[in-house]
Structure 1
Amino acid sequence: MSDSDDQRLYFLLQRAAHRLRTTADRRMLAAAGITTAQLGALFAVRDEPGLTQQRLARALGLRESAVTGLVGRLTGAGLLARRAHPQEHRAVVLELTDPGEAALRAAQPEIDRFNAELRELLGDDGFTGAARFLRRLAHWES
């Protein structure tokens, strides 16, 4: 790897992330009427029953203020519901609604197609290696 590659890695990661996000958003909107950020929130709520907004923010790596808006849009669309937390009087628990479940089901075939295209582009070893590399970067403490 040359010095110029070292200097451009961050730029290339940003450019690739932008390309992936805009392509995936376009395809998820067409397939299920939701963005990838909304999709991530719906999956997190489905996968962790009793999830609070604070824990959702941590799971998504977002500030709580950003998650407040995201949850507001999802509840406004009827994809999530809020209910009182059973122990913490100021907290709310997020629940996936039937339309939220339907959105996840509608998105799944496009998620599968998207991942298959990435696997074809990168090859099986490249796909697995990229996933491992990005997971390490996502949890890197500098």
Structure 2
Amino acid sequence: MNETSKQWTPRWVDFQCHVDLCKDHVALIAECDRERVMTLAVTTTPKAWPRNRELAAKSAHVRIALGLHPQLVAERENELPIFERYLSDARYVGEIGLDAGPRFYRRVFERILRACAEQGGKILTVHSVRGRQGIGSH
């Protein structure tokens, strides 16, 4: 293994990081790169995605996922058009799911899944609380 590949090869992987909720975004991203922690930073709302993307643009180890946290759907469903507008630029989609919430959560989750399927090429992570409340159980 040459020195360049060693510098990029991750030592750890974190699929559930909220860069936008940390006090010092720049320091966290720098630490991920320095310590070689491959990090998927999920946004809790679509409005947070552009800024997170900008912060991680030069990072070798941090990727940003466009998200709409299922526990925020009730107050942020109106951000779905924003989500759909940014989706074409997002490779990763995360912090989406059902979390055994009200029935309309399923409608939002299905809309996001449909949009991702239509565009193709997305890597999704699904937020799940009380995992037995899967999509078929509502």
TM range (shorter): under 0.3
TM-score by length of 1: 0.25
TM-score by length of 2: 0.25
Please identify which structure carries the higher helix content: 1
Choose 1 or 2 for highest CA Rg.
1
Please identify which structure carries the higher strand content: 2
